[in-house]
Structure formats: structure tokens, C-alpha cells
Structure 1
Amino acid sequence: MARPASFDREAVIERAMKAFWEHGYAATSITQLVDATHLQPGSLYAAFDSKQGLFLAALDHYAAQTLTRLDKRLDGAADPLQGIAAFFADLSADRSDARRRGCLLVNSALEIARADADIHDRVTAHLTRIEMRLRAALEQAQRDGLLPAERSPSVLAKFLMTTVWGLRVLGSTGADARSMKQVVAQALSVLHA
């Protein structure tokens, strides 16, 4: 009988996520993953089947964190548009090392998703979930009379997702907080036009 895993799976995924985020999927070696997770290769393979399996778990973890941040802002706001604005303010104000690394989902879409169908499908599913959450908030804003009836929540959600991607890329280039805030203000102005 196999011995049960004696490690904190979420902590291992978090550490692996940071390694993949820092180096990219292709450039992250098993040695780097062993160093990051403090597990031996055999334990990593037993728990995640492959480097790809660990990467998919890391993508799931990252997407869950992103959705939690978005939901926290939406749920804590007086109205959906204020929640969206708060989420974007967080993106523009982030001065952490994470900002320099960009978005793991966008990075993955650009680096590996076209070459790996499983990763492509997972990245697409996560980006779609985030977009659908934004769309639901915009639909609620429309029902509340905060967004004109002629505006398309679907198109606006796609626009906001494009803005998120752009902000993450801009942040990774070292753009200053002032520039990021200006981009956010311009992007959010379409919600009030």
C-alpha cells in the first residue's frame, strides 16, 4: 500500500506556482521545482503525475486567487461598478514582485498554450470564468440602472479583460503607478460614458 502524502498540497502548489510564474513553464526545471517545493522528484510525480500536472494545479490555484480578489471587491462594494473600479485600482496600485512578473494566465497563454492543448484549455477556461464574473457584475449594474441599456455587458466584459491583460503586461515592464492609474481611469470611463 502506498504511503499517504505527508505534505501540505496547497503550500506546495503555491510555491510551484511562484516558480512557474518567475521562470515560465518551459524554463522551470524539475530541479527548480524540487528546490521551490522542498519535495523530491518522486513525490512531485506521485502527487501531480508530471510537470504539466503540477503546472495545471498552479494555474488553477492562481485563477482561484484572482477570482477571490475580484469577488471580494465586488461583494464589498456599494454597487457593481464600484467593485469593478476597486478591483482595477488594486491592479494599478500593486507594487509587489507579482506585478513585475505579469499575469500567470496571460504569460501562459503567450508562452505555451498554443503548443499544449491541455494548458490552452485550462487557461481559456480560467480567463472565461473571470470574464463571466465581470459580465455578471455589469449585467447587475445594468439592472440597477447604473449602466445604460444600450451598452453591452458582454462587450464591456471583454474590453475589461483586455484592459486587465494590458495592465499586467504594462506592470511587468516596470510602468509607474501613476501611469497605471491613468490607464485604469481611462478604461473605466467607458462604463460611465
Structure 2
Amino acid sequence: MIHAYDESYVHDAMCILGEAFEYAQNTCDIALSDFYAMLFVSHVGKQFEKGNPKYVAGRTGAELVLELLSECGLVHHEKKREVFYDYAEAYWCGWILAYYQWYSGMTFKQLSYYITVTDLINLYSSLHEASVHKFTDVMEKRISRQPHRSKLQKYRLLQGYTQKELAEQTGVALRMIQQYEQGAKDIKKASAITVYALANRLHCSMEDLLE
């Protein structure tokens, strides 16, 4: 498996995102589900998931939150981080999410397809003292239980497009998209320009779409 970035940054990244989740909920009164959604559509989140050292090692979780809020047009004055043990699950959610994002190489948006913040909170009591490998096993089982979908369909759904919308955005015929998703046509035999158009609109690599 290809990880998202160099392993030397993982520990710092986990601590930063853990603190960010805790700071967002505890100090800024932002629901974790809302913060997660902001994370995976933002420039900040994209830099973090690529392992940009400025984001995964060069700042605190509070600084990450404040930059994210600023990017989203929300003004928040910096406040002293308040730590309450009742919010330990918020820290763990960010901490373990950072680990699995690095481990899997998925984007945060892709991960949100398989696990929500509510799911993470529900797993806290049974997994927060377990090794990260236990969480990895849980995630692999969750992913394997998902209904079989072609890679094209998975990426399309992650971006929120209907088949018709994707056809209109890419210029690829609707019937062709349907056939690729159903397996009636092999996307590996599609022209490079077709796969490129789809990958470009779905914000993934061309290789990501090949079965």
C-alpha cells in the first residue's frame, strides 16, 4: 500500500489533527461533523492530506483550525486552548483519522464515504486504548462490506455528481459512463483523453479509475 506521505511526519500529524478536532469543538464550539466537512473541502485539508510539512508538522492544531476558519470566511479570534477530559474523544477522532488517512493514502473526502465522525465517536470506547493497527483492521472490514462499485462510480459519488452531471461536465457520453460503471465496457480500453477528462473532474489520478 502506498501511504500518503513520509512516515516521519505521521506522529506529528496525528497530534496536530487530534488537537485541531479538540480545539474546534471545545474552544470554538464547532460541531465535529461540521469541522470534518470543512476540512475535506478546504485547501488546508488538501495540504494536510498530502503531507505538506507546513501543515503536518509546522504548526499547532489551534493554528490549523484558525487558518481553516479563515479560509471558510469565518472569523474567530484566537483563544487559549481549553483542555477537558470530557473531550478526549474529540482528540482521538482527529488523531486516529490522521493515522488512517496517512496509512490508506485516501483523501479525507474519500474516507468520509466509509466513516463519519459519529462512527468514530461510537468506536472511541472500544478502540481508544487499542493499537492503531486494530483501527486499521476495523476500517478494512468496513470498506470490504461496502456494496461493490466500480472505481469510477465511487469517485463520482464522492464528488456528489449524478451520471448525467458528470457527462455534462466532462463531455463523455452518458451511456459510456453508465457502461463503464456497470462493467459492460472496460475503462482500461477507453481513450486516454476520456479517462483524463473523468479523472480531472473527479479530482483523482487516471490510474485511480482503472479497475
Same fold (TM over 0.5): no
Normalised by the length of structure 1, the TM-score is 0.31
Richer in helix (by share): 1
